[in-house]
Amino acid sequence: MSKVSPRTLSGFMELPPRQQMKLERMMEVLRRSYATYGFTPLDTPVIESAQVLLAKGGGETEKQIYRIPREGGDLALRFDLTVPLAKYVAAHYAELSFPFRRYQIGKVYRGERAQRGRFREFYQADIDVIGDGKLDILNEAEIPAIIYNTFTALGLRRFKIKVNNRKLLNGFYAMNGMAEKAGEIMRAVDKLDKIGPEKLKQLLIDEVKMLPCKAENVLDFMAIQGTVPEVLERLTNFRGMDAAFDQGLDELIAVTRYLKDFGVPEENFAVDLTIARGLDYYTGTVYETEMTDYPEIGSVCSGGRYDNLAEYYTDRQLPGVGISIGLTRLFYVLNEQGLLSDELVDAPCDALVIPMTEDLGFAVSAATALRGAGVRTQLYAEKKKFKAKLGYADKLGVPFVVLVGEDEIREGVLSVKDMAAGEQKKLSPQEAAAFIKAAVDAKNSGPVIKA
């Protein structure tokens, strides 16, 4: 029979088992962390009507979309989790209670040009809080705490949550008579990190067509740095010149006021006036998260406040705030950098039970007892040489092998071999279960990301 080559499409991540296990652990941490902050899990279809998905229309999105032709209206695969959320909230408005807090960890699809580290199918892990007409600023203030606790739970230590406010930026540009150029300026300032202040100034003069003095104003503003109180104090000097600026500053003060009560350490947080987030639907607080030792990776968790989640579907004003982790890309980068812990058990099982007699009754009972005690257990009954069986356990990274021979059956015990230590001891099935469980729990107590 002629064979079809079993290939996986380019740009689609398909992991070996031990790596998949690490990704699953990261997802589990995200689920638990998001749930701790009172977000409910949501699951929306991967396929939507193209008309619904592209209600906003146009741009890069439309070109990258995976489309399924259908008479009476094409279908399409979701390209983010925000548009399906907007649809969901608009469609289920009457059944929901607001603020509506949901998390969603799901695959999204973008037919981008394939390149190393870029994926066409990738997980996003989003949270959003949606208000009905209004949404208290405390919801924005809470976001840094969620980011902090999520990344800390993953094991990351050296990262910084950067916060800014779009009203503050727009107000600043307005008070400098540059309101209509705000978007262009923000895009230019986004390059500050890469090109430095001198080149940025030239860019603002040459391409954004700003007067040199105004370009300098922008650079001076972006140079405002320091602790949160320091930055806020310097911003206070601009008070009274523009209403939007003042409101933005008030929001920034409110967002930073309870940082300590939220448990966010100073060293993991900064007000950073250079960040703006490209998306034009953010209207207030914006967030980015940078891994201190890997700034080149860019932001690993971003988002912001928006005023109108579902304007393409409903007349209702639905303001919200949300953040998104590009999980597949984050996993890829962590893996590439060797930052994923190998301490945690990534084998399919904690104990491999190897029967060494014809009658398997005692071995099966032992496996049942181990499983009942919460030990992930595999029974290995294949006809192989003893060395091959141990080699199998070794290759999978199984921490414990449980040998069941005639001696063990007669004595009613199990020989438990610690594969890392090479030690072996005889224990009753109950003792073996407790021993293995405790050892595996200890191994798994550390975080997914190496500190």
Ranges within 283-342 binding a copy of itself (CB under 8 A): 310-315
CB distance 93 to 314 below 8 Å: yes
* Residue 251 found at the interface with a copy of itself (CB under 8 A): no
Smallest separation, CB 409 to a copy of itself (Å): 12
271 versus 351: smaller Cβ distance to a copy of itself: 351
- 369-388 binders of a copy of itself (CB under 8 A): 371-372, 374-383
* CB proximity list for 202: less than 8 A, separation 6 or greater: none
| Whole-number Å distance between alpha carbons of 353 and 408 | 12
Binding piece for a copy of itself, criterion CB under 8 A, among 91-99, 162-170, 196-204, 438-446: 91-99
Maximum CA extent, the chain: 92
Query: Residue 5 or residue 237: which is nearer to a copy of itself going by CB?
Result: 5
Is residue 91 part of the contact set for a copy of itself (CB under 8 A)? yes
Residue 75 as a binder of a copy of itself (CB under 8 A): the answer is yes
Alpha-carbon span 159 to 332, nearest angstrom: 18
Q: Is 109 in the site for a copy of itself (CB under 8 A)?
A: yes
Size of the site for a copy of itself (CB under 8 A): 103
Binding map of a copy of itself across residues 18-47, x = CB under 8 A, - = no contact: --xx-xx----------xxxxxxxxxxxxx
Q: How far is the CB of 277 from a copy of itself (least distance, A)?
A: 23
In the complex with a copy of itself, the residue whose CB is nearer, 91 or 179, is 91
Is the CB of 109 or the CB of 221 nearer to a copy of itself? Answer: 109
Q: Which of 71, 180, 198, 261 binds a copy of itself (CB under 8 A)?
A: 261
Confirm or reject binding of residue 358 to a copy of itself (CB under 8 A).
Answer: no
d(CA 204, CA 220): 13
12 lines the binding site for a copy of itself (CB under 8 A):
yes
Count of residues in the chain: 451
Q: How far apart are CA 207 and CA 191, in angstroms?
A: 13
Min dist. Cβ of residue 260 to a copy of itself (A):
8
Q: Which of 80, 392, 427, 444 binds a copy of itself (CB under 8 A)?
A: 392
- The nearer residue to a copy of itself, 200 or 413, going by C-beta atoms, is 413
Pick from 114, 117, 136, 196 the residue near a copy of itself by CB under 8 A. 136
Shortest Cβ 364–a copy of itself spacing (Å): 4
* Among the listed residues 86, 147, 218, 401, the single contact to a copy of itself using CB under 8 A: 86
